[in-house]
Structure 1
Amino acid sequence: MGKRASKLSSSEIKDLISCTYFNKKELQHWYKDFLRECPNGALKQEEFEAIYQQFFPHGSPKKFASYVFNIFDTNKDGHISFKEFICALSITSRGTLDEKLDWAFSLYDVDSDGFITRTEMIEIIDAIYNMVGNLMDLPNDENTPEKRANKIFQQMDMNNDDMLSKDEFREGSKSDPWIVRALTIDTGPQMTS
Structure 2
Amino acid sequence: MNRKKLQKLTDTLTKNCKHFNKFEVSCLIKLFYNLVGEATERPGAAIGLDRNHYYLLFCLPLSSSSLVFRGFDKDNDGSINVTEWVNGLSLFLRGSLEEKMKYCFDVFDLNGDGFISKEEMFHMLKNSLLKQPSEEDPDEGIKDLVEITLKKMDYDHDGKLSFADYEKAVREEALLLEAFGPCLPDPKSQMEFEAQVFKDPNDFHD
Settle same-fold status: TM greater than 0.5.
yes
Moved more, 28-37 or 121-130: 121-130
1:162-183 deviations in Å (ceiling 9; x for gaps): 1111111111112224224876
Question: For residues 30-41 of structure 1, what are the structure 2 equivalents within 5 Å?
Answer: 30-39=28-37, 40=40, 41=47
Unaligned runs of 5+ in 1: 135-143
Distance, in Å, in 2 between the alignment partners of 1:176 and 1:184 is 19
Is the 8 Å Cα contact of residues 117 and 164 (structure 1) preserved in structure 2?
Answer: yes
Out of 164, 170, 175, which is 1:173 matched to?
170
Is the 8 Å Cα contact of residues 157 and 164 (structure 1) preserved in structure 2?
Answer: yes
| Alpha-carbon distance change, 5 to 74 in structure 1, aligned in 2, over 3 angstroms | farther
Alignment match, 1:141: none
User: Is 1:158 the counterpart of 2:155 in the alignment?
Assistant: yes
Q: How much does 1:5 deviate? A: 5.2
User: Is 1:55 the counterpart of 2:53 in the alignment?
Assistant: no
Distance, in Å, in 1 between the alignment partners of 2:62 and 2:16 is 32
Alignment match, 1:44: 50
Alignment match, 2:76: 76
Distance, in Å, in 2 between the alignment partners of 1:25 and 1:127 is 38
| Alpha-carbon distance change, 22 to 162 in structure 1, aligned in 2, over 3 angstroms | same
Moved more, 95-104 or 146-155: 146-155
Question: For residues 110-189 of structure 1, what are the structure 2 equivalents within 5 Å?
Answer: 110-130=110-130, 145-180=142-177, 185=186
Identical pairs, percent: 24
Is the 8 Å Cα contact of residues 117 and 161 (structure 2) preserved in structure 1?
Answer: yes
| Alpha-carbon distance change, 180 to 111 in structure 1, aligned in 2, over 3 angstroms | closer
Larger Rg: 2
Distance, in Å, in 1 between the alignment partners of 2:80 and 2:185 is 23
RMSD: 3.0
Unaligned runs of 5+ in 2: 41-46, 133-140, 198-206
| Runs of 4+ deviating beyond 3 Å | 4-7, 14-17, 144-148, 180-188, 190-193
Q: TM-score w.r.t. structure 1 length?
A: 0.74
- How many residue pairs get aligned? The number is 172
Q: TM-score w.r.t. structure 2 length?
A: 0.70
